[in-house]
Amino acid sequence: MENEEIEQNNTQHAVKWGLILGLISVIITLLVYVIDITIMAKPYFGIIYLVVYIGFVIYAGRKYREESGGYLTYGKAFLHAFVILLLAGFIDRVFLYILFNLIDPQAAETIIKVTMDTTMQAMESFGGGGNPEVMDEMAEGMAEAYTLGGLAKNFMFMIIAYAIGAAIIGAINKKNEPQEF
């Protein structure tokens, strides 16, 4: 009975923090959308997003460990981080679908254009030119990524990334009780 209570508390805590991170993700996306949508096409945007996610999940795990008496097994720390990442990622994908398909379908085209321009510049700086057929295929692939199917497929791949991230964060946040001999 007590074990079920602890597991339920772990899940409730993770869901709460997952919803908070999902909301933060939506707010960041909205701010970038309002300020300059092309920021989403910049590599540093993804890095900043990743740092925010990792930092937030580590913080939430530490808070949970404090609330649980100062100790947290690896399994519970992993599950806590995975639920947070899964829920926040799902919220983020749903919002991206709404933004790019219902609110402003032109926004995806803008991001694709900026990404293609950046790719062309990079290719030219390395002495190569972009094959127009390859570039057209790339643009089509990028446009597909903003559809419901593309976002769902991306989310499925992200589940693997969330599991890897949760494994690392779980190792960071775990703290075993001292063993008495």
**Token match 């199917």: residue?**
149
Neighbours of 154 (CB within 10 A): 14
**C-alpha pair distances (Å), 25 with each of 41, 56, 66, 95, 96:** 16, 11, 25, 9, 10
**Contact (CB, 8 A) for 62 and 173:** yes
pLDDT digits (tens, 9 = 90+) for 4-60: 555 568 889 999 999 999 999 999 999 999 999 999 988 889 899 999 999 999 999
Give the pTM. Answer: 0.85
State yes or no: pLDDT of 3 exceeds 60: no
